[in-house]
Amino acid sequence: MTASAVVFYIFAAITVGSAAVVVLARSLIYSAFALLFTFFGVAGLYVLLGADFLAATQLLIYVGGILVLLLFGVMLTHKLYDLDLRSEVTQFLPAAIIVGGLFLLLAWPVDLSFTLLGRPMRVYGLLFQTSWATGPGRAPAPTTAEIGRLFMGRYLLPFEAASILLLVALMGAAMIVRRRPQA
Amino acid sequence: MIGIQHYLGVSVALFCLGFLGILTRRNAVNVLMGIELVLNSANINLVAFSRFGPGNLQGQLFAVFVIVIAAAEVAVALAIVLTLYRLRRTPNLDEADILRG
């Protein structure tokens, strides 16, 4: 195993393991801090994929912004003096069956294909039986300058639409939480 | 050799865990965390295809837009959760039934 493979498995384990903690932990605070490690792991995967700008963006926006917002949400929607930060789990068994079925459909790891009445039956995860149309690929190289040029050139309209969306979300969030005067 | 399937596998696992969180949690903030996991799994897919695909940066640009939309979504959703908490004194989603006829 090469060094990059080892690093990949480390980051993948961090990502998936802490995501499991996010979903299964009893305490909301544990979930929030496990989410921090998930975001770090995903940023590491971005670095391995040669997306340096996106890794930095991930750390800045997800860890610095979204996670802090979620922690605010946790703190503001609970009575902190009795520290009751439990999150209840409901309908766990049917949800686990559905999600487990979905996971096995997508990523069943062993090829058990057989032939039934002259017809081939594929029993193999979609992830593995699909031949992904990969191209020449992009060698890892600094991306920031090129991304900036694309945003200011070819993708100017989506860029502006995203900024308007952010403005609208900002104003909408402020309007929703505003205390209405008692009529 | 780490190929595209390894990254897609991580993405599948992350998506399934996030989906499980969305389905099983009663707390609204925890459901939002599940949504963030799902969005992150989609982003891993986009960046992986950008790396192993036709060799341009479109996947990464799309991922940037996904991050922007995730930020906007969390801001608005938390505003709604705070309003719900002010009305009902609970962050649990199945008690948000005021609109029921």
Q: Give A28-56 as a DSSP string.
A: HHHHHHHHHHHHHHHHHHHHHTT-HHHHH
Which 18-47 residues of chain B touch chain A by CB within 8 A?
18-21, 23-30, 32-34, 36-37, 40, 43-44, 47
List CB contacts (< 8 A) between B61 and chain A: 147, 150-151, 155
Residues of chain B with pLDDT under 70: 100-101
- For residues A147 and B60, give the distance between their C-alpha atoms in angstroms, rounded to a whole number: 8
Contact list, B92 vs chain A (CB under 8 Å):
88
Strand partners, A119: A116
- Asked if B87 reaches chain A (Cβ–Cβ under 8 Å), the answer is no
CB A177 within 8 A of CB B90: no
Radius of gyration of chain B (CA): 17
- Residue B65 near chain A (CB below 8 Å): yes
CB–CB of A25/A34 below 8 Å? yes
- Tell me how far apart the alpha carbons of residues A47 and A54 are, in angstroms, rounded to a whole number: 8
Q: Do B78 and A70 touch (CB under 8 A)?
A: yes
Distance from CA of B100 to the nearest CA of A (A): 20
CA distance B23 to chain A (A): 6
Residue appearing with tokens 């719900």: B84
Instruction: Provide the pLDDT for residue A82.
Output: 52
The CA distance from A174 to A168, in Å, is 10
pLDDT of residue B26: 84
* Burial label, A84 (beta-carbon count in 10 A; 0-12, 13-18, 19+): exposed
Q: How far is CA A127 from CA A19, A89, A131, B13, in A?
A: 20, 30, 9, 12
The segments of chain A whose pLDDT lies below 50 read none
Query: CB pairs below 8 Å between A and B: how many?
Result: 223
- The first and second tokens of residue B98, run together, are 């005021």
- pLDDT at A166 (0 to 100): 94
Residue A81 has a pLDDT of: 54
**A114 sits in which H/E element:** strand A114-116
ipTM here: 0.90
pLDDT of residue B27: 86
Nearest neighbour of B83 by CB, restricted to A74, A138, A176: A176
Spatial distance between the Cα atoms of A134 and B68, rounded to a whole number of angstroms: 27
Pick the residue of B15, B19, B22, B25 with the most A CBs within 10 A to test the interface with A by mutation.
B25
pTM given for the model? 0.89
CA pair distance B44, B46, nearest whole angstrom: 6
